[in-house]
Amino acid sequence: MLRLSRKISRHLHSDDVLIDISNVTDEQIASVERAGLKPVLVSTQKTFNYRVSRDRMPRVKDGTVWFVLRVPGVYETGNVQTTKFDGNKFRYHRSKKGSPHIKYHKNSKCSISDARRRSLTLAPSHRACEIDDLIITNVSIDYGIGAVSNDRRLIDNIYDGVSPRLGDGMHELMSATEITQLVKKKGLWTEIM
């Protein structure tokens, strides 16, 4: 987790506020901008693609940064794959054999498996899906950056100064996760990292 947190924190400023984009409204983002602060969006590629497919991209100003966590996962092909930004959305890019990965189940639940596809989680759970929440919490606590979310557990952890423990394969999954930094320019999201 420290590698991902450091990578994000290098690009942050004191007037930035981390936005848990999967758990906020456009009005909440607008209130951050009205307060003279700069929203910095954080999500997984799954959330980004969901918003693209539903035409629900956040209404933010040009220059807004979005850190997208590219989590290796078992997707349509049944193989472990990672994704790459194609200028519009994140597409399946390459097989990532020998990598810890996430598998999505029904009802917003996930499980984490190791490189040999052995489960590292006791049972599918929503918590296993929340790699973005762990990163937001850690960066906010360690670097003193504000955060906005409607996820009570995330906000309570930040307020209490407690990073959730990394159990059930989350540490392994984070080590295999990559980050893509996008910036909004002329109304379009462009890759810059």
Top-ranked range on mean pLDDT: pick from 35-49, 65-79, 99-113: 35-49
The angle that helices 152-160 and 131-143 make with each other, rounded to 10 degrees, is 30
Alpha-carbon span 69 to 135, nearest angstrom: 9
H/E stretch holding 85 reads: strand 80-85
| Contact between residue 103 and residue 72 where contact means Cβ atoms under 8 Å apart | no
Q: Which DSSP state fits 79?
A: S
- What is the count of structural domains for the chain? 1
The model's pLDDT over 72-112, given as tens digits with 9 standing for 90+, comes to 887 666 677 888 899 899 988 766 667 788 888 888 888 88
Full domain range(s) for residue 115: 2-191
The model's pLDDT over 173-191, given as tens digits with 9 standing for 90+, comes to 888 889 999 999 999 999 9
pLDDT of residue 96: 64
CA distances from 51 to 2, 112, 120, 127, 166 (A): 28, 24, 29, 21, 28
* Rg, C-alpha atoms of the chain: 16
Say whether pLDDT at 22 is over 80: yes
How much is the pTM? 0.90
